[in-house]
Chains A and B, each alone.
Chain A
Amino acid sequence: MTTPVLAIENLTVSFRADGQWRPVVQDLSFMVNERETLAVVGESGSGKSVTALSIMRLLPLAQSRVEGRIALDGRDLPPLSEGEMRRVRGNEIAMIFQEPMTSLNPVLTVGFQVAEALIYHRGLARAQAEADALRLFDRVRIPAAKSRFHEYPHRFSGGMRQRVMIAMALACRPRLLIADEPTTALDVTIQAQILELVKMLQEEEGMSVLFITHDMGVVAEIADRVVVMHRGRAVEQGETTRLFTQAQAPYTRALLAAVPRLGSMEGQSRPLRFPVVDTATGESDTPSPTPDTVDPADRPLLEVAGLVTRFDMRSGLLSRVTGRVHAVEDVSFALRKGETLALVGESGCGKSTTGRSILRLVPPSGGRILFEGTDIATLDRRGLVAMRRRMQMIFQDPFASLNPRKRVGAALAEPIVVHGLAGREEARARVAELLRRVGLDPAMAERFPHEFSGGQRQRLCIARALALEPRLIVADEAVSALDVSVKAQVLNLMLDLQAELGLAYLFISHDIAVVERVSHRVAVMYMGEIVEIGPRAAIFGDARHPYTRRLMAAVPVPDPRRGRIRRGLDADEIRSPIRAPDFTPPPRRYTEVSPGHVVQDWGTERERLPA
């Protein structure tokens, strides 16, 4: 039997906290074979990143303890001195990280940062190392590599920075590449490019890859074998296809059940709850269909017509307007009671700004927003405050959206008292009711936010939004920061609340698979404009606009039987909506291809879409 490239045996990693050693990885064993891609998958806190860092010996020495065997090509790593270990890092094992925006040194040129590994490991002179590094830039498909070589990282987009990181990792032709959530911070179309690049380079270099991720779709696309981690332990490992079809461990089955799969909603007319899986047994229920909550005869609750939001960019001596961000450009849609309209798109497409403009958290530059028939632009301060009772917002980061110094009971009671809906005593009773409604124990009102988990905090945010009995909730990436299983629970809660209270949701998300599951209608945004809008089934079953199609094709599907889709190696970047100050957006025309399904005409508009 050949020696595996990496063999981990009985790895236990502990961290010291308050004078006690707490294990975060326990008794973990796996191996990575020659030319193999092994995915380590798990939710936050599963110990997957800690495993990677302990292989590289990058954990803080004073607060961590690593036990067990880590062998690279049969050579034990833990006994190596720091100097010897340094010669392994970047040379035999290379690593790329999750946050491309912060992983490159801002004061050194990208070219030098790539060349540095060659200088230290190959003993090359700087000029020679930089010449070699330039070739690496071409290999990772950085456009105009030569001219961009001596630039600083801040001039590069996230996707391009991740390419620089990959070039840096490949510089010394490592035996093993550890990729720690390398695409999590990237947009879905960029993620597709980077995954493709990693796959291709792996074949060319013949290296092995340890790919750490939380995303089952990415696993299905990239991995030969999978290790599933949960609370520091490996609960299951095996061939990717087998794992997806015949998972043994209850946790794996629960995880797979909670993952929304693009295309799984064919034939469903309404949003569908996620199955609830018992993590102890792995048994799941069959999700009950949601009731019909939309009456097409109603007058829409929210009507947005020609909404425009632009931000001036000032620079120069006199702070003249030198550019304008066309964040939202001529956006129109309507939303009925009990309906969920999803706004999907990639970063910078204007979906969040649209939501904030509707609540007037940012001032719109033009267009009309009618809420329950009232134009919100005409409201004075008092009117605005009253209007905000009727529409509420839930934010992305459950850790940042609660005041850390306020007990949650007080935080939930405050809007009720401020708006004069009830006195303090009655408010307390209402808080208990709100907590029950979002599935929390009313006794938790006395606690501070930091005593809650991420999913619980998001429930608290929903409860706070509900305190004012709103009709519309703008949910801005409300579940994006949550782990898969928690995400499913919170989405189920949102669907239940919609059924009970007839809430309308403006569901802003970049997660296309989630959107397919929970929405009635979908609007796809690109560079500040809606390029396609329509019933969910029409958008997902019959996408017309080239951007919509591109977006759908980029979504990794958690089904290894679909085979590996080759998407080709492009290096397109997400275009910026910054324009010259005198720019006038061209008039758009729209075609209704089926009832309610409207597509922007793109025909001659070559400039707007990458080929």
Chain B
Amino acid sequence: MTGTATATLLRAFNTNKTSWAGLIVLLTVVALAALAPWIAPHDPIEQDIFARLEGPSALYPLGTDQFGRCILSRLLHGARYSLFIGIASTLAAMLVGSLIGMLAGWYGGRFDVVVMQAMDVLLAFPALILGLILVAMLGPTLPNIILAIAATSVPAFARIARAPTIAVKEREYVEACRALGYSDARILFLHILPNIFAEILVMSSLWLASAIRTEASLAFIGLGLRPPIPTWGGMIREGFENILDSYWLAMAPGVAILVVVFALNLLGDGLRDAVDPKLKGES
């Protein structure tokens, strides 16, 4: 089923240099995050009270923060949290949202109207505010943060999955499936899903970027994982408190977030360009 979707994505890669650039940067970050415990020069929460707010040195390549912790080590470990939270919440939102969108698109009628209006309200409601409230109410633990971010992107996935479901549903081959007596589940999952899967996958890379940004924003506001856990948003928050004299503290994690989000956007954007005309061309 996913074989052909993967083939489409692979073809897309061959024609798009920016996607490659995004992918390479991303894989590098993933590798660094995975290897963090082995390659980080220091323990990310180890404090060196004799080396607070120091500039770059051989011992601390990116300097230290106000507690004398190694910024590079905190960045490398922070990547693990950013990526994990981002991927987990995007996957959850993709599964739930796509299912909702496909069902709404397929069954149509009042079910569709009610479900999608609800989704639209959620979508229009500021995601960050919703995330803030959910995390504040539930408490800033790893599962809660994942849940809150996933909840804010479910409606987006519902929309993403619904539109092509409707488009494909009106194609004659789906009507032919009905005439052939196939069950709804068979048509939805064996005939429609493979045709919209590439689109969903591409959009999820863009939403992964958004999820990572949301996680950092929550942490920046103070609703991320509790200190001393190193998160990029939390590092910026701490750096921002010393912005007037040591602004580089906020710069390093800021650039890290920007690079990852930009890489993901490059990847997703290039893929979308490649996948879109393909789907249209097959009509």
Measured CB to CB, the nearest residue on chain A to B198 is A405
A464 lies within 8 A of chain B by Cβ: yes
Given A415-B181, A450-B282, does the pair A405, B194 have CB atoms closer than 8 Å? Answer: yes
Interface residues of A in 60-109 (CB under 8 A from B): none
For A359, give the chain B residue with the smallest CB separation: B179
Closest to A474 in B: B179
Please judge, given known A-B contacts A418-B186, A450-B282, whether A401 and B181 are in contact too, CB under 8 Å: no
Q: Is A509 among interface residues, defined by CB-CB distance under 8 A?
A: no
Q: Residue on B with the closest CB to A418?
A: B182
Take A396-B172, A401-B172, A404-B195 as given contacts and tell me if A361 and B179 are in contact as well, using a CB distance cutoff of 8 Å.
yes
The answer, yes or no, to whether B175 is at the interface (CB within 8 Å) is: yes
Residues of A within 8 A of B137 (CB): none
Cβ–Cβ contact B176 & A464, under 8 A:
yes
Judge if A317 is at the interface, Cβ distance under 8 Å. no
- The answer for the CA separation of A405 and B193 in the assembled complex, in Å, is 10
In the assembled complex, which residues on chain A have CB atoms less than 8 Å from the CB atom of B177? 403
A418 contacts B172, C-beta separation under 8 Å = no
Contact B191 A403 (CB under 8 A): yes
- Contact flag A388-B195 (CB < 8 Å), given A400-B283, A404-B282, A450-B282: no
What are the residues of chain A within 8 A of B195 when measuring CB–CB?
403-405
Q: How far is the CB of B195 from chain A (nearest CB, A)?
A: 6
Q: If the complex has contacts A405-B194, A405-B195, are A397 and B182 also in contact, measured as CB distance less than 8 A?
A: no
Q: Which residues of chain B come closer than 8 Å to A396, judged between CB atoms?
A: 172
Contact B179 A418 (CB under 8 A): no
B181 touches A389 (CB 8 A): yes
Q: How many A-B residue pairs have CB under 8 A?
A: 61
Given A359-B179, A361-B179, A468-B180, does the pair A397, B172 have CB atoms closer than 8 Å?
Answer: yes
Complex interface residues of chain B between 178 and 227 (CB less than 8 A to chain A): 178-182, 186, 191, 194-195
Whether a CB of chain B sits under 8 angstroms from the CB of A212 is: no
A384 within 8 A of B: yes
Q: Mask for A379-392, Cβ within 8 A of B = 1, else 0?
A: 00000111011001
Name the A residues within 8 Å of B191 (CB-CB): 403, 406
Instruction: Pick the residue among A385, A401, A419 that contacts B176 (CB under 8 A).
Output: A401
Q: Which A residues are in CB contact (< 8 Å) with B179? A: 359, 361, 388, 392-393
Which residues on the A side are within 8 Å of B4 (C-beta)? 405
Task: Check B180–A395 contact: CB distance below 8 A.
Answer: no
Is residue B173 within 8 Å, beta carbon to beta carbon, of the partner chain? yes
Q: Is A197 an interface residue (CB 8 A)?
A: no
Interface of chain A residues 461 through 488 with chain B (CB within 8 A): 461, 464, 468
B182 contacts which chain A residues (CB < 8 A)? 414-415, 418
* A452 on interface, CB distance cutoff 8 Å: no
Interface size on B, residues (CB 8 A): 19
Binary per-residue interface labels of chain B (255-283) against chain A in the complex, 1 for a CB within 8 Å, 0 otherwise = 00000000000000000000000000011
Q: A228 an interface residue at 8 Å Cβ cutoff?
A: no
**Which listed residue (B5, B175, B283) contacts A395, Cβ 8 A?**
B175
- Does chain A have a CB within 8 A of B171? yes
Interface centre among A385, A403, A461 (most CB of B within 10 A): A403
* Residues in A whose Cβ lies below 8 Å from that of B283: 399-400
Asked if residues A392 and B180 are in contact (CB atoms below 8 Å), the reply is: yes
**Chain B contact residues: over half helix, strand or loop, or mixed?**
helix
Q: Which A residues from 402 to 443 make CB contacts under 8 A with B?
A: 402-406, 414-415, 418-419
CB of B194 within 8 A of CB of A361, answer: no
Q: In the docked arrangement, what's the CA distance between A406 and B181, Å?
A: 18
Residues of B within 8 A of A419 (CB): 181
Closest chain B residue, CB of each to CB of A356: B175
Collect the chain B residues with CB atoms within 8 Å of residue A386's CB: 181
Residue among B171, B186, B195 with the highest chain A CB neighbour number at 10 A: B171
Q: Is the CB of B180 within 8 A of A415?
A: yes
Q: A384-B181, A400-B283, A419-B181 are in contact. Are A461 and B194 (CB under 8 A)?
A: no
State in angstroms the CA–CA spacing of A397 and B171 once bound together: 9
A400-B186 contact in complex given A393-B179, A464-B180, C-beta closer than 8 Å: no
B66 to chain A, nearest CB (A): 56
Given the known A-B contacts A418-B186, A450-B282, are A403 and B181 also in contact in the complex, defined by CB atoms under 8 Å? no
- Interface readout for A561-585 with B: 1 if CB under 8 Å, 0 if not? 0000000000000000000000000
Alpha-carbon separation in the docked complex, A461 to B179 (Å): 12
Question: Are B181 and A402 within 8 A (Cβ)?
Answer: no
Smallest distance from the beta carbon of B19 to chain A beta carbons, Å? 19
| Whole-angstrom distance between the Cβ of B9 and the nearest chain A Cβ | 13
Q: Which residues of A contact B172 (CB under 8 A)?
A: 395-397, 400-401
* Contact status B180-A402, CB under 8 Å: no
Closest to B180 in A: A415
Q: Which of B178, B181, B186 has the most CB of A within 10 A?
A: B181
Interface string of A357-386 (1 = CB under 8 A from B): 001010000000000000000000000111
**Contact in complex: B282, A388 (CB < 8 Å):** no
Complex-state Cα separation, A419 to B181, whole angstroms: 8
Identify the closest chain B residue to A396 (Cβ).
Answer: B172
Task: Give the docked Cα–Cα distance between A468 and B180 (Å).
Answer: 8
| A contact residues around B5 at 8 Å (CB) | 405
Inter-chain contact A388/B173, CB cutoff 8 Å: no
In the complex formed, the residue of A with least CB distance to B4 is A405
A511 to B38, CA, bound (A): 75
Taking each of B177, B186, B282, which has the highest tally of chain A beta carbons within 10 Å of its own beta carbon? B282
Q: Which residues of B contact A400 (CB under 8 A)?
A: 171-173, 283
Complex CA–CA separation, A516 to B1 (angstroms): 44
Residue of B171, B177, B180, B195 with most partner-chain A CB within 10 A = B180
| A461 in contact with B176 (CB, 8 Å) | yes
Interface contact A395-B181, CB-CB below 8 Å: no
Closest to B113 in A: A319
State A126–B282 Cα separation when bound (angstroms): 43
Given A361-B179, A418-B181: A402 and B173 interface contact (C-beta under 8 Å): yes
Q: Chain A's nearest CB lies how many Å from the CB of B167?
A: 11
Which residues of chain A have C-beta atoms less than 8 A from B194's C-beta? 405-406
A394 to chain B, nearest CB (A): 8
In the bound complex, do residue B180 and residue A388 qualify as a contact, i.e. CB atoms below 8 Å apart?
Answer: yes
A395: B residues at CB distance < 8 A: 172, 175-176
| A383 smallest CB distance to B (angstroms) | 11
Q: What are 13 residue pairs bridging A and B, where the CB atoms are less than 8 Å apart in the complex?
A: A361-B178, A384-B181, A388-B179, A389-B181, A393-B176, A396-B172, A400-B173, A400-B283, A401-B171, A401-B176, A418-B181, A419-B181, A468-B180
Closest 8 CB pairs of A and B: A401-B172, A388-B181, A395-B172, A385-B181, A404-B282, A400-B172, A393-B179, A415-B180
Given A361-B178, A384-B181, A386-B181; 16 other pairs, CB 8 A cutoff? A361-B175, A388-B181, A392-B179, A392-B180, A393-B176, A397-B172, A400-B283, A404-B195, A404-B282, A405-B5, A406-B194, A414-B180, A415-B181, A450-B282, A461-B176, A468-B180
